[in-house]
Homo-oligomer: A and B are copies of this chain.
């Protein structure tokens, strides 16, 4: 081992040793592993001082653009696949249990309730989409009273929190009926870029990556005694290859069937509409 190599290794060990007195064993494990990987990264790439300074500026810029409506650190985690890796680690494939994917930065608690068959677009622009499905356990038993939260971008690619005013649109929740079923109107998902006017957008541009997300509809499904499911459904055939946050799972890709005929509930739609089915299986709270 060269003298230089020795100096670098010694420093890493000194830092690791500084965490040896951490009272919480889990925190000690995390800080030790984080230290080792950060140091290994710097040593492996022979990080220059200018590159280090650029990283500090990047994090600073990300911090300054982040507020209660914009979360650049989640975006960063998303585009580095760290969000999806964390989800993968924590949600092993488990029989028919519906797969999870990224939460994304646009979930907002306290969405309006809609009735079965109601419309959660709340005036957001886009092609109407009839969504129906069921929530069941791994035995196939329907789960009545499950809370189904849904949110999505409008046809211009914006979530309501990105609007200049503060109105709520294209988000809502409903409760499964006695047969564990749900049905509602939403909007056909369209491709949209993640917010690209900040440091994460500049990183994507510099690395020749697209900021576009595969079109999707967000779901969060909760029921007492079951693991909360955070997922999307994706539009079959619609630019799935390039999802900028690596969120696509084959099992979550669904056909959205387009029609300009009569709608399932007799709603009169001016132009085309789509329909999609999403049957959800929740894992028990104690599983996985």
Which A residues are within 8 Å of any B CB, using their own CB?
A: 3-4, 7-8, 11-12, 14-15, 18-19, 21-24, 27-31, 33-35, 37-49, 51-52, 56, 59-60, 62-64, 66, 71, 73-74, 77, 80-90, 92-93, 206-209, 246
Closest CB of chain B to A219's CB: distance in Å? 16
Docked-complex contact A77 and B90, CB < 8 angstroms: no
Question: Given the complex of chains A and B, what is the CA–CA distance between A38 and B35 in angstroms?
Answer: 11
Given A4-B93, A34-B80, A52-B77, answer yes or no on A11-B41 (Cβ-Cβ < 8 Å): no
Docked-complex contact A71 and B90, CB < 8 angstroms: no
Of all chain B residues, the one with the shortest Cβ separation from A40 is: B37
Pick from A14, A19, A45 the residue with the most CB of B within 10 Å.
Answer: A45
Pick from A41, A64, A84 the residue with the most CB of B within 10 Å.
Answer: A41
Question: Given the complex of chains A and B, what is the CA–CA distance between A58 and B155 in angstroms?
Answer: 34
Docked-complex contact B12 and A43, CB < 8 angstroms: no
Question: Given the complex of chains A and B, what is the CA–CA distance between A21 and B242 in angstroms?
Answer: 13
Docked-complex contact B21 and A208, CB < 8 angstroms: yes
Contacts of A24 in B (CB 8 A): 206
Given A45-B30, A63-B60, A81-B35, answer yes or no on A88-B8 (Cβ-Cβ < 8 Å): yes
Docked-complex contact A86 and B29, CB < 8 angstroms: no
Question: Given the complex of chains A and B, what is the CA–CA distance between A60 and B68 in angstroms?
Answer: 10
Of all chain B residues, the one with the shortest Cβ separation from A209 is: B18
Closest CB of chain B to A106's CB: distance in Å? 14
Docked-complex contact B12 and A85, CB < 8 angstroms: yes
Of all chain B residues, the one with the shortest Cβ separation from A93 is: B3
Given A8-B89, A56-B71, A86-B42, answer yes or no on A28-B207 (Cβ-Cβ < 8 Å): yes
Docked-complex contact A15 and B81, CB < 8 angstroms: yes
Closest CB of chain B to A206's CB: distance in Å? 6
**Can you list 19 A-B pairs with a CB-CB distance of less than 8 A?**
A8-B85, A11-B81, A11-B85, A14-B81, A15-B81, A18-B246, A19-B209, A33-B44, A35-B81, A37-B38, A38-B80, A38-B82, A42-B82, A42-B89, A47-B86, A49-B90, A56-B71, A56-B77, A60-B66
Docked-complex contact A33 and B45, CB < 8 angstroms: yes
Question: Given the complex of chains A and B, what is the CA–CA distance between A28 and B208 in angstroms?
Answer: 10
